[in-house]
Amino acid sequence: MSLSIFTRRAALALAASAAMATGASAGGHGINLEGKTVEWIIPFSETGGSAKWANFYAPLLSEALPGAPTVVVKFMPGAGSTKGANWFQEQQYEDGTVIFGSSGSTQFPYLLDDPRVKYEYNDWNVVLASGTGGVAYLPPALAEKVAGGGASAIAGEDFIYGSQGATRLDLVPLLAWEMLGLNVEPVFGIKGRGDGRLMFERGEANIDYQTSSSYLKGVTPLVEAGTASPWFSFGALDADGNITRDPTFPDMPTFKEVCEATDGCETSGEKWDAWKAFFVAGFPAQKMVFLPAGASKDAMVTYTKAFEDIKARGDFAEISEARLGVYPQMTGAEATTALASATQVPDSAKSFVVNWLSERYGVTLN
């Protein structure tokens, strides 16, 4: 991406957030969706994680929106979600009955200048950003060696890691393994992180990571049974954009801490910046809800308020914990900040990753 485009994006984002801020404070009239059907476009199939997320929110959103419209989740899978996103890019705002749910898998191709991407995040209007975290874990024997220290103790091990592909979210853990100096061979072709966990359980893979909620459901029982041990979490972001301990796993060191304790792993410089940029794009701001280009202030206010009302429900913590995990659900200015950090990656970080992908995995995206 050339500098000029970058500036344009930044300017647009600024303008968007300014518009949002005024919109929210002016407390516009809002829109009434009575008798209408809101279509929530998910650019994946009905079987994935985004489907789960949207299916959780859809009935709540229907209750929270003025006029209690029917909210239906529509699946538009294809080309690693770029097909649905390209379709959404062509939509113009009409009456607020079309919204779009994007995911890390939509953000990464955008960041990596995948030729299939014809969408522009800064044209869209974010109303919700849902985050997640990630946890890396090891077989107990190996975890013992690294307990309380850096990764140097296991630098000589041969690791096998089940991966969905180097350009997907797996980019973040793959880069992390490499920064820690681990000798990890990714085995590609698994269909989801669950398959990666299964490979670990079968003893074929000996390093793995899961998102927070999958970790709680799928790996905690293994930890209790003594067949897996947590190593580090990827961490969470504080309001200033610093990596802190994941509130869900306060006892686990973050990747940053492990990196600092490991010889040869730097928590500054272009490699670190690249890792952090893609981590932010893939985890703390993983899933977002957008209104299309040209959305009115009223519509933004209405949707933002609806999601705020959902968060404010007395039972929200309880009903969301089992289904989404303990993730931050951001609205308003927070969501805009999350969007900016997820889609505005410094050119240097981007070119580092593009280079790394092509040198390490031979992947070129053009």
Partner 1 sequence: MDLIATALPALNDAFAMILQPHVIGYLILGVCMGLAIGVFPGLGGIAGLSLLLPFMFGMEPLTGLALMVGMVAVVPTSDTFASVLMGIPGSSASQATVLDGFPMAKKGQAARALSAAFASSLFGGLVGAAFLTIFILAARPIVLLFKTPELLMITIFGLSMVGILAGRVAIKGIVAACLGLLVGTIGEGASAGELRMSSYDWPYLTDGLKLVIVGLGIFAIPEIVALLRQDKAISDRAPLGGGWAEGVKDWWANKWLSVRCSLIGVLVGVIPGLGGSVVDWIAYGHTVQTAKDKSEFGKGDVRGVIGPESSNNAKEGGGLVPTLLFGIPGSGSMAIFISAIALLGTGQIEVGPSMLKNNLDFTYAIVWLLALANVVGTLICIAASGGIAKLTSIRFALLAPFLFMIIAFAAFQSNQDIMDLVALFAIGFLGILMRRFDWSRPAFLIGFVLSDPAETYANQAVQIANSRFRKGFGEGLEYIFSPIVIVLIIITVISVVVGLRQAKNIMAEGDVKSGTKRAPMIFLLVVFAYVIAAFWNASLIPDHASADRVFPRFVASVGLVGCAILMIQMMMRPETHPLFSDREKQDAEDNTFGLWPTLAWFAGLLVLTSLVGFILALGVFLFSFMIWRAGKSPVFAAVYTAAGIAFICSMASLLNRDFPAGMLQSAVDLPWPLK
Could you tell me the smallest distance in angstroms from the CB atom of residue 340 to partner 1?
29
The verdict on 346 binding partner 1 (CB under 8 A) reads: no
Q: What's the rounded Cα separation, in Å, for the pair 229 and 222?
A: 8
Q: What's the rounded Cα separation, in Å, for the pair 279 and 45?
A: 24
According to CB under 8 A, which one of 34, 113, 185, 260 is a site residue for partner 1? Answer: 185
According to CB under 8 A, which one of 83, 155, 308, 328 is a site residue for partner 1? Answer: 83
The verdict on 109 binding partner 1 (CB under 8 A) reads: no
Name the residue nearer to partner 1 (CB basis): 250 or 362: 362
Task: Give yes or no for a contact between 102 and 282, defined as CB atoms under 8 angstroms apart.
Answer: no
Could you tell me whether strands 208-211 and 37-42 are parallel, antiparallel, or unpaired per DSSP bridges? unpaired
According to CB under 8 A, which one of 15, 22, 27, 52 is a site residue for partner 1? Answer: 52
The verdict on 178 binding partner 1 (CB under 8 A) reads: no
Name the residue nearer to partner 1 (CB basis): 6 or 56: 56
Task: Give yes or no for a contact between 347 and 274, defined as CB atoms under 8 angstroms apart.
Answer: no
Task: Give yes or no for a contact between 127 and 289, defined as CB atoms under 8 angstroms apart.
Answer: yes
Name the residue nearer to partner 1 (CB basis): 54 or 129: 54
Classified as helix, coil or strand, 311 is helix
Q: Which residues contact 146 (CB under 8 A, 6 or more apart)?
A: 138, 153, 154, 231, 258
Could you tell me the smallest distance in angstroms from the CB atom of residue 104 to partner 1?
17
Task: Give yes or no for a contact between 43 and 83, defined as CB atoms under 8 angstroms apart.
Answer: yes
According to CB under 8 A, which one of 149, 323, 347, 355 is a site residue for partner 1? Answer: 323
Q: Which of residues 130-169 bind partner 1 (CB under 8 A)?
A: 158, 160, 165, 167
Q: What's the rounded Cα separation, in Å, for the pair 177 and 185?
A: 10
Q: Which of residues 240-269 bind partner 1 (CB under 8 A)?
A: none
Q: What's the rounded Cα separation, in Å, for the pair 3 and 315?
A: 46
Point out which residues bind partner 1 (CB under 8 A).
Answer: 45-48, 51-52, 55-56, 58-60, 72-74, 76-79, 83, 115-116, 158, 160, 165, 167, 185, 187-190, 192, 194-195, 198-199, 201-204, 214, 217-218, 220-222, 318-319, 321-323, 361-363
